[in-house]
């Protein structure tokens, strides 16, 4: 699932909670993308190093590129905010592609802050 699709799903989930009595929400777990970006070396960094820096991923899966190359994919995401002010929602996502040997081959991350 693409980063945009995950972001849309997270925000839709948050909006669907607007009928609930609670005024705030939190999805996923917080992580520091700065630690990742300061330390990652594409083609060298391993899954274990990433797990040490960020903890367990929020979700895992397989990505197959158009050329047929298969990657293990880890996703970290976190969203929180107030249901009454969704425009103030804080959202962070990080998708990491690992080769079959568990080495980082690519990644994409985005964030927004209140």
Number of residues in the chain: 114
- Of the candidates 90, 95, 96, 97, the one whose C-alpha atom is nearest the C-alpha of residue 111 is 90
pTM beyond 0.75, yes or no: no
Q: What is the pLDDT along the chain (114 residues), one digit of tens a residue?
A: 566 666 666 666 656 655 555 577 767 888 888 899 999 999 999 999 999 999 999 999 999 999 999 999 999 998 887 766 666 777 889 999 999 999 999 999 887 755
What is the number of other CB atoms lying within 10 angstroms of the CB of residue 70? Answer: 12
């Amino acid at each position: 699932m693409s980063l945009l699709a995950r972001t849309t799903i997270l925000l839709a989930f948050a909006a669907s909670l607007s009928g609930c009595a609670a005024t705030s929400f939190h999805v996923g777990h917080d992580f520091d993308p700065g630690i990742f970006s300061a330390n990652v070396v594409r083609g060298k960094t391993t899954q274990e190093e990433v797990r040490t820096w960020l903890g367990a991923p929020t979700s895992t899966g397989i990505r197959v590129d158009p050329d047929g190359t298969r990657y293990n994919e880890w996703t970290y995401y976190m969203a929180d905010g107030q249901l009454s002010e969704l425009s103030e929602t804080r959202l962070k996502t990080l998708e990491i592609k690992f080769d079959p040997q568990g080495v980082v081959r690519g990644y994409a991350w985005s964030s927004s802050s209140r």
